[in-house]
């Protein structure tokens, strides 16, 4: 048995790892979640439900105020989650980085976007690592959850933390556990999604596993942080490549007057050797459009070219232009040029039933329509205002979806198929619908339907 009582004869002082292990086992540890967004918010809630004290950190003062009052700012997560955090005496929100010193575990859930030349932008990861380093003390575990290229945890974060003078694996601990959030998916909580856990050393992995085993239903140990980082990249590259495949097939089969959706559903009847992926107007969200480029950048650093992945990126990036061309062709069939035509866009979020527009193809499509002279408006029940985006500046507000708006539109373009939209009503009141999501399938409507 170890003890920290200096008056105890023959006392052996507990190590930082032993002290942290005890606090994790007894759930007396404080877990700081840095970045209270789409990943950090549900993680903080899951950790709180597991019985730990939680400190939610964000540099955005508006989020801190809403976290303290329970005001909803991520609608797809529901009001209940926001209220549960605000009303718990085991949760506190702060924008003061010095308070990270009280945390036993610091989990970084920050964006990893791309730069102007599709190079990794690790500024958020590096800046928050520096915050953690500024208050680093013995007995702390730092975990990165942001998706990044293999080697980030060890090669980029470790030197910053080591500059504190403390020793990793003895004084403090460092691990990687990639987020696997799927915004908008019903009935699947953070707790239910299996977690990968890999540290820069064995003791870091052990301690991170001890935390996540209590937070999620399944935590899977891997041999290193690099394995966990690579697995996360593989998950998203796999999706990006397969989506590119069906997107390319869609363009070809469109010209052959063959319905790609029916083709996929037919192929999906095979009970082995096939997994259905579906085409769309382009890739959106913070993972699939971005993460493959983290790997291609790292590969180029090592002297390799990831031709297959980069080709998939090119195919997916072309889809917004394909959709706009289909709108122009559909209008032309009606004897109308795209220029000066009224186009109503349904849905600007990157996927159904969320308010998340990160990397949404809707922004690119709307910009292209405006460049060609179209008069564009949009309806999205989850996004009343078009938010600020890194590469787009669109000053628009959602319009009501009523009969007048639908009848006035020369073309209704479905980009995001939110479940709350009455597509039978849309089809009854519209003259032309360009459907990039197969939302109109099976509906008997008066509108002419063109799939894109």
287 is annotated as an active-site residue: yes
What's the rounded Cα separation, in Å, for the pair 412 and 31?
A: 47
Q: Which two tokens stand for residue 133?
A: 């380093």
Query: What is the number of alpha carbons within 13 Å of residue 278 lying toward its C-beta?
Result: 12
Cβ(243)–Cβ(283) under 8 Å? Answer: yes
* Token duo for residue 90: 């085991």
Structure tokens at 420: 């709350």
Q: Which two tokens stand for residue 417?
A: 């198929």
Q: Which of 109, 168, 287, 411 is catalytic?
A: 287
Q: Which residues are catalytic?
A: 287
């Amino acid at each position: 048995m170890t003890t920290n009582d200096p008056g105890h004869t023959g006392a052996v002082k507990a190590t930082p790892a032993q002290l942290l292990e005890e606090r994790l086992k007894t759930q007396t540890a404080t877990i700081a979640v840095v970045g209270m967004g789409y990943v950090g918010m549900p993680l903080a809630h899951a950790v709180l439900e597991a019985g730990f004290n939680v400190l939610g950190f964000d540099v955005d003062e508006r989020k801190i105020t809403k976290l303290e009052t329970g005001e909803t700012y991520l609608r797809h997560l529901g009001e209940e989650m926001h209220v549960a955090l605000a009303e718990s005496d085991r949760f506190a929100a702060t924008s003061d980085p010095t308070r990270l010193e009280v945390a036993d575990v610091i989990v970084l859930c920050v964006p990893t976007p791309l730069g102007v030349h599709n190079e990794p932008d690790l500024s958020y990861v590096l800046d928050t690592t520096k915050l953690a380093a500024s208050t680093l003390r013995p007995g702390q575990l730092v975990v990165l959850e942001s998706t990044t290229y293999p080697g980030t945890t060890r090669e980029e974060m470790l030197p910053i933390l080591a500059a504190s003078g403390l020793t990793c694996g003895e004084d403090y601990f460092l691990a990687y556990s990639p987020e696997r959030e799927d915004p908008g998916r019903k009935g699947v909580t953070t707790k239910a999604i299996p977690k990968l856990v890999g540290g820069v050393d064995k003791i870091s992995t052990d301690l991170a596993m001890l935390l996540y085993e209590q937070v999620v239903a399944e935590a899977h140990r891997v041999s290193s942080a690099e394995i966990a980082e690579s697995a996360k990249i593989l998950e998203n590259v796999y999706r990006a490549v397969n989506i590119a495949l069906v997107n390319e097939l869609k363009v070809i089969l469109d010209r052959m007057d063959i319905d790609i959706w029916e083709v996929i559903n037919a192929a999906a009847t095979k009970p082995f050797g096939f997994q259905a992926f579906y085409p769309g107007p382009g890739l959106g969200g913070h993972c699939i459009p971005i993460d493959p480029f983290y790997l291609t950048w790292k590969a180029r650093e090592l002297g390799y070219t990831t031709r297959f992945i980069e080709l998939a990126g090119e195919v997916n990036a072309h889809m917004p232009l394909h959709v706009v061309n289909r709108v122009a062709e559909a209008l032309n069939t009606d004897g109308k040029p795209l220029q000066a035509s009224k186009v109503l866009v349904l849905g600007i979020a990157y996927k159904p039933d969320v308010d998340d527009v990160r990397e949404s193809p809707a922004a690119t499509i709307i910009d292209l329509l405006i460049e060609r002279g179209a008069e564009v408006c949009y309806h999205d029940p989850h996004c009343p205002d078009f938010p600020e985006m890194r590469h787009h500046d669109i000053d628009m507000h959602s319009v009501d979806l009523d009969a007048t708006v639908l009848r006035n539109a020369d073309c209704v373009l479905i980009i995001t198929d939110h479940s709350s939209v009455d597509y039978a009503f849309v089809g009854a009141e519209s003259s032309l619908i360009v459907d990039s999501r197969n939302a109109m399938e099976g509906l008997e409507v008066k509108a002419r339907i063109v799939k894109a």
